[in-house]
Each structure stands twice: as structure tokens, then as C-alpha cells.
Amino acid sequence: MSCIFCQIAQHEVSANIVHEDDHVIVFNDLFPQAPVHMLIIPKTHYSTLNDIPPEDTTVFSLMHRVAAKLAHDRGFADKGYRLTLNCNRDGGQSVYHVHMHLLAGRPLLWPPG
Ligand code: AMP
């Protein structure tokens, strides 16, 4: 098993986990880029966004539902937040297990670098 995020999802590698259910696990990013920086990952391993099969029609709605609930529960839903998914080299992906960044707690610039 060489995927670090699969190892976190299987509790083989420690992480600061903030949510877990049957399909999704959320933990704090090791190198936060904002006061709130969580990673929302599916427990199913997909290396990149390109590898999600068309049959899996629920993965993003499950991730989004958790993100929206965290934003609500932690009180930054109204102020705002950003969900980001990076794909492959030009998209800035460094860990090859699909993940959604949940960023909040400061004004976020646009366009991104
Ligand atoms: P990306 O560049 O979109 O692939 O994002 C990968 C993110 O994973 C980066 O923000 C890293 O800081 C974060 N990261 C890498 N390894 C770990 C880890 N073991 N625990 C938590 N976050 C990690």
C-alpha cells in the first residue's frame, strides 16, 4: 500500500481527523494554506479526477455534503470558503488520491497562482 491518503483512511498513518463516515474521511492539511485547511477524500482510491468512473455518480455529492456541513457547523458558511480539486501536474496535484481542499478563515485571492 503506497498511497498515503489510503493509509490515513485505513488508520495506518496518523492524521488530525475531523470527520469520518462510510464513504468519506476529512483531516487537516499538514501544511495549511489558510486558518482552515482540510482535505476531504473518498475512501475509495481514485488517483486523479480522470480516474473516477462514470458509474460513480455519488462521490462528489458525498464530499460536498460533508464540506457544506463542516462549513455550517464551524461557522464559516456565510462568510465563505473555497473547495479546490487539483488534477495532475498542471493542476498542482501532489498526492495521487482524489481530494478536495476546504479552505477558509481568510479572504482567498483569485485568480490562484
Ligand atoms: P495537492 O497538491 O492538491 O495534491 O494537495 C495535497 C495536499 O496534501 C497538500 O496540501 C499537502 O500539504 C497535503 N498532505 C500531504 N501529505 C499529508 C499528510 N500526511 N497529512 C495531511 N496532509 C498532507
pLDDT tens digit string along 42-75? Answer: 999 999 999 999 999 999 999 999 999 999 999 9
Mean predicted lDDT score pLDDT of the chain: 97
Residue 31 in domain:
yes
pLDDT digit string, tens, across residues 2-25: 999 999 999 999 999 999 999 999
23 is catalytic: no
- Supply the pLDDT for residue 113: 83
Residue 25 in domain:
yes
pLDDT at 1 over 80: no
58 Ramachandran zone, left/alpha/beta (phi>0; psi -120 to 50):
alpha
Task: Look up cell 503506497; give the residue.
Answer: 2
pLDDT at 94 over 80: yes
Residue 110 in domain:
no
* Ligand 1 close to Cβ of residue 94 (< 6 A): yes
92 Ramachandran zone, left/alpha/beta (phi>0; psi -120 to 50):
left
* Ligand 1 close to Cβ of residue 110 (< 6 A): no
Domain that holds residue 15: 4-104
Q: The domain spanning residue 55 has which CATH number?
A: 3.30.428.10
Residue 58 in domain:
yes
pTM of structure: 0.98
